[in-house]
Amino acid sequence: MRRSAVERQLEILGEACARLAKLEPALIGSVINLKLAIDLRNRIIHGYDSG
């Protein structure tokens, strides 16, 4: 249950970062680990067990 809760919070964080990056593309290079958060979200959402 804890793992599921953590995964959900990471999904929310990554989605927020993705939306922020779309609104302000210049932030991708200036916000530390923004791209990493987005990539992690995509990996969780789209099945990290498959690869």
* pLDDT band with cut points at 50, 70 and 90 for residue 51: low
Q: Residue 37 in contact with residue 14, Cβ under 8 Å?
A: yes
Q: Residue 43: pLDDT above 60?
A: yes
Question: What is the average per-residue pLDDT within 8-26?
Answer: 92
CB environment 17-46: b (16+ within 10 A), e (fewer): bbebbeeeeeeeeeeeebeebbebbeeeee
Per-residue pLDDT, 9: 94
Tell me which of 9 and 31 has the higher pLDDT.
9
Per-residue pLDDT, 5: 94
Instruction: Please state, in angstroms and rounded to a whole number, the distance separating the CA atoms of residues 14 and 8.
Output: 10
Please give the share of the chain, as a percent, with pLDDT higher than 90.
59
